[in-house]
């Protein structure tokens, strides 16, 4: 079974009740290196989870915003998925596929592609560094610190690899 938005949302709500907007912010700040979700995906998923009694509305705010919390059934489903379901360890990454195929390009295109990818990785590292620096002021910084650190480490390895490829392509 592959990871789905359902379990990401359940997991975040198991940490603390949140609105859809707050969930979007958490995805953008803390889960960006492993799971991306758009605002437009989160609200339909919340509706499905509520219909399945896995989350419930625990508060209403301005402009009809709803604060959701995970239910006991939601926690049980999250536990089942984490403990009993073998994860799909295969990965599909368009970026990874492109990096695999980049050596097929002529040297100028290959160099430009690596440089473009390096610029993106450096932006990602800067963004993760900002998240990490701001975590001291966040509620429950320990909850997301390991994920942010993983993102930094993975992007650091990719950055170093891209630098090696750029250097090798230039010779």
pTM over the 0.95 mark: no
Tell me the C-alpha distance between 114 and 152, whole Å: 19
Which pLDDT does position 169 carry in this prediction?
86
Which pLDDT does position 66 carry in this prediction?
93
CATH fold for domain 5-84:
Arc Repressor Mutant, subunit A (1.10.10)
The tens digit of pLDDT for each residue in 85-113 reads: 887 777 777 888 898 999 999 999 999 99
B/e letters for 48-82, b = 16+ CB within 10 Å, e = fewer, are ebbeeebbbeeeeeeeeebbbebbeebeebbeebe
The tens digit of pLDDT for each residue in 12-29 reads: 999 899 999 889 888 777
Per 3-state DSSP, the chain is made up of helix, strand and coil in percentages (nearest 5) of 70, 10, 20
CB-side exposure of 12: number of CA atoms within 13 Å?
28
Which pLDDT does position 95 carry in this prediction?
85
The structural domains of the chain, with segments of one domain joined by +, span 5-84, 94-170
């Amino acid at each position: 079974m592959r990871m789905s938005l359902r379990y990401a949302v359940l997991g975040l709500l198991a940490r603390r009740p949140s609105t859809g907007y707050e969930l979007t912010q958490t995805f953008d700040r803390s889960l960006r290196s492993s799971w991306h979700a758009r605002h437009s995906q989160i609200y339909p998923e919340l509706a499905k989870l509520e219909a399945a009694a896995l989350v419930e509305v625990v508060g209403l705010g301005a402009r009809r915003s709803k604060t959701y919390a995970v239910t006991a059934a939601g926690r049980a489903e999250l536990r089942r998925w984490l403990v009993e379901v073998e994860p799909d360890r295969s990965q599909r990454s368009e970026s990874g596929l492109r990096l695999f195929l980049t050596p097929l390009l002529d040297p100028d295109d290959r160099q430009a592609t690596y440089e473009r990818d390096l610029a993106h990785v450096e932006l990602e590292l800067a963004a993760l560094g900002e998240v990490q620096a701001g975590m001291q002021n966040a509620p429950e910084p320990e909850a997301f610190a390991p994920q942010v650190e993983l993102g930094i480490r993975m992007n650091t390895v990719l950055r170093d690899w891209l630098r090696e490829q750029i250097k090798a392509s230039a010779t």
